[in-house]
């Protein structure tokens, strides 16, 4: 049966402008990082993606290395575009990134013009698209001149292969410099995609979020649930079938140590007092900042997606609630900072 979008798909979603641009994103965007790779079959993928679009999620976020294996998320989404989403292409924002390892040799990762533009061409082929709406530099490359990496992003826009460009996980100084370079090239830095959650506040600590607000760069937070820690599942000792099952994966042991889980328990009490799930509290907290355009979620099941979307029912906090959340988490922060190697994305 051919997918047909719900006529009421725009009735309940909140849309926010990305910085000073004309682009609006849904307050909740869907990422295909770890749950839409080679192990996901088409029917279960379409169940989630179709429901998301029916609820107003117009933004689908990918990267060249998303899977596993790398490239498989783009391939799967390309199949969805070809079979079901094609009539709605102009209603969608599709993003991808380049920065992490994709093929052997010296041109297979980081930020050289050679790698960035070759990766974009490969991504477009996997997606079956002529262009993406947003193309990101996935991580700052300390060994390549920033002018070269930003020049590659500018070329992507000027060649029509990307409508907007952005950066991901760039610290404040590099964010400001990337913005300056692109502006001189006549291209806007539309979005910054950092990790950010109530337990991971590095963009506040190093003032990246303030810089983006000052410069008119929109922000979209990845891992707003701290790799699932803020779902509360690790407090119940659940590891099987989660990211915590793989010691080499993106969830570190330090992310689920007792002091962190104690903070999650305290947050759970605050969420209950607001009539929200832990997940809904965490997403609403990220979206409380005016600089934050969207929260980027990743889900394995349709029920998880529905729970996430429930955050939209209560996005407001009183000053007392904000103070209580700060007190609850002060001893449980993950103390993450961007580094040249970047996060495992």
Residue 343, pLDDT > 50, answer: no
Beta carbons within 10 angstroms of residue 251's beta carbon:
21
pLDDT band for position 130 (cuts 50, 70, 90)? very high
**pLDDT at position 255:** 75
The CB-side HSE value for 184 (13 A sphere, CA atoms) comes to 9
Q: What is the SS3 assignment for 40? A: coil
Tell me which residue of 156, 172, 176 sits closest to 164, measured CA to CA.
Answer: 156
Q: Are 163 and 157 in contact (CB under 8 A)?
A: yes
**pLDDT at position 244:** 47
Residue 214, pLDDT > 80, answer: yes
Looking at the domain assignment, is residue 326 inside a domain?
no
Looking at the domain assignment, is residue 6 inside a domain?
no
**pLDDT at position 256:** 81
pLDDT band for position 337 (cuts 50, 70, 90)? low
Q: What is the pLDDT of residues 216-239, one digit of tens each?
A: 999 999 999 998 999 988 886 555
Tokens coding 178 = 């990337």
Q: What is the pLDDT of residues 245-281, one digit of tens each?
A: 444 455 666 678 899 999 999 999 999 999 999 999 9
When comparing pLDDT for 10 and 335, which is higher? Answer: 10
Q: Kindly state the average pLDDT of the residues 165-176.
A: 98
Partners of 221 in the β-ladder: 295
Looking at the domain assignment, is residue 115 inside a domain?
yes
What is the distance between the alpha carbons of residues 245 and 243, in angstroms, rounded to a whole number? 5
Looking at the domain assignment, is residue 154 inside a domain?
yes
Sort residue 99 into left (φ over 0), alpha (ψ -120 to 50) or beta: left
Q: Are 63 and 138 in contact (CB under 8 A)?
A: yes
Looking at the domain assignment, is residue 55 inside a domain?
yes
Looking at the domain assignment, is residue 251 inside a domain?
no
Q: Kindly state the average pLDDT of the residues 285-311.
A: 98
Q: Kindly state the average pLDDT of the residues 161-190.
A: 98
Q: Are 102 and 108 in contact (CB under 8 A)?
A: yes
Q: Are 85 and 53 in contact (CB under 8 A)?
A: yes
Looking at the domain assignment, is residue 333 inside a domain?
no
Q: How many domains does the chain have?
A: 1
Per the structure, the complete domain to which residue 149 belongs is given by: 15-235+282-316
302 by Cβ neighbours in 10 Å (0-12 / 13-18 / 19+) ranks as: middle
CATH code: domain of residue 310: 3.20.20.100
**pLDDT at position 237:** 59
Residue 243, pLDDT > 80, answer: no
Residue 339, pLDDT > 90, answer: no
> H-helix or E-strand containing 328?
helix 319-329
pLDDT band for position 338 (cuts 50, 70, 90)? low
Looking at the domain assignment, is residue 345 inside a domain?
no
pLDDT band for position 134 (cuts 50, 70, 90)? very high
The vertex-306 CA angle with 22 and 316, nearest 5°, equals: 60
Mean pLDDT taken over the chain: 93
**pLDDT at position 250:** 56
Q: Are 216 and 180 in contact (CB under 8 A)?
A: no
β-pair type (15-17, 24-26):
antiparallel
């Amino acid at each position: 049966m051919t997918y047909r979008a719900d006529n009421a798909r725009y009735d309940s979603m909140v849309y926010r402008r990305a910085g000073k641009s004309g682009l609006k994103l849904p307050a909740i965007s869907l990422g295909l990082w770890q749950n839409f790779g080679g192990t996901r079959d088409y029917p279960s993928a379409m169940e989630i993606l179709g429901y998301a679009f029916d609820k107003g999620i117009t933004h689908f976020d990918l990267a060249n290395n998303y899977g596993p294996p790398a490239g498989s998320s783009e391939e799967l989404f390309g199949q969805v575009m070809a079979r079901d989403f094609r009539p709605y292409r102009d209603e969608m924002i599709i993003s991808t990134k380049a920065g992490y390892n994709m093929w052997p040799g010296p041109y297979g990762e980081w930020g050289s013009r050679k790698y960035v533009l070759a990766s974009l061409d490969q991504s477009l082929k996997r997606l079956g698209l002529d262009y993406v709406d947003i193309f990101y530099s996935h991580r700052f490359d300390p060994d390549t001149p920033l002018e070269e990496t930003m020049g590659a992003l500018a070329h992507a826009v000027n060649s029509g292969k990307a409508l907007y460009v952005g950066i991901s996980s760039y610290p404040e100084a590099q964010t400001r410099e990337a913005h300056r370079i692109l502006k001189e090239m006549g291209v806007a830095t539309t979005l910054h995609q950092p990790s950010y959650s109530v337990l991971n506040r590095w963009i506040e600590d190093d003032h990246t979020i303030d810089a983006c607000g000052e410069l008119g760069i929109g922000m979209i937070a990845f891992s707003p649930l701290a790799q699932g820690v803020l779902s509360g599942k690790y407090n119940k000792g659940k590891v099987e079938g989660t990211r915590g099952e793989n010691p080499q994966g993106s969830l570190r042991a330090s992310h689920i140590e007792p002091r962190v889980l104690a903070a999650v328990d305290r947050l759970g009490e605050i969420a209950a007092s607001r009539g929200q799930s832990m997940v809904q509290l965490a997403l609403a907290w990220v979206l409380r900042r005016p600089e934050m355009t969207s929260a980027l979620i990743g889900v394995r099941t349709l029920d998880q997606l529905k729970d996430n979307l429930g955050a939209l029912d209560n996005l407001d906090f009183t000053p007392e609630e904000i103070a209580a959340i700060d007190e609850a988490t002060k001893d449980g922060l993950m103390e993450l900072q961007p580094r040249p190697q970047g996060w495992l994305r």
